Structure 1
């Protein structure tokens, strides 16, 4: 599974890079989300956008506890931002989402950063590359 997951991450990063290169920083997060969704789908990947994720706690069930920006092939979470810089809560948010979804790897992509390299982070949940 890790080879497949790594391949998905590489495709997602490539699509994100090309999107940032074409549009640059400063647009609304929803614009980048729609464009990245389309780019990944054009690569033949199954992508879910704004996927509702239930949360269960102490006998309470929230069917839409949060929404994942993009979920690729049911394995890779992509959380998008469009802000000048990351703040620590962004990474914590992705890690919490990964834990709630029982996923190993997520990408945090900030399209507001001056370069895509500055705006992409891998977040792992008990995941080790082989």
Structure 2
């Protein structure tokens, strides 16, 4: 019996792999200790070099019972498929950051998100899906 492959999921896996590669390259070059905005600017350069399209500070509406009840702004929206939320926090990453990204995914109906922390000596990445 043949297993049906979800092409969107497969594309998102490849896309997140490229984004993660850009993050590690950037972190290896810059190291840790900078503000989030510095890492965001460097990552934008890496994403451009990788040939990826993205929107910085992309705004999404939050809809409840067909009423717009607010907005949120993600750090990067890559290839109209992956929300990327950046942090530069030293030490343990609070669960709050994961909850933030999950709520972004639910509100936007985007399936895949990456939570990336550049604050420690190694780049920490969590891939979340809904």
TM category (shorter chain) comes to: 0.7 to 0.9
2-structure distance, mates of 1:103, 1:15: 21
Q: Deviations over 1:95-125 (max 9, x none)?
A: 1101111111111000002211xx1111111
1-structure distance, mates of 2:65, 2:119: 38
* Unaligned ranges ≥5, structure 2: 1-7
Normalised to the residue count of structure 2, the TM-score between the two structures is 0.87
Q: Counterpart of 2:39 in 1: which secondary structure?
A: helix
1:121 equivalent to 2:114? Answer no
Matched residue count: 122
Out of 28, 32, 36, the position equivalent to 2:35 is: 28
Normalised to the residue count of structure 1, the TM-score between the two structures is 0.87
* Unaligned ranges ≥5, structure 1: 126-130
User: CA 1:6 to 1:28, structure 2 compared with 1: closer, same or farther past 3 Å?
Assistant: same
Query: For the pair shown, which has the larger CA radius of gyration, 1 or 2?
Result: 2
Q: Deviations over 1:65-114 (max 9, x none)?
A: 11110011100111000001310100011111011111111110000022
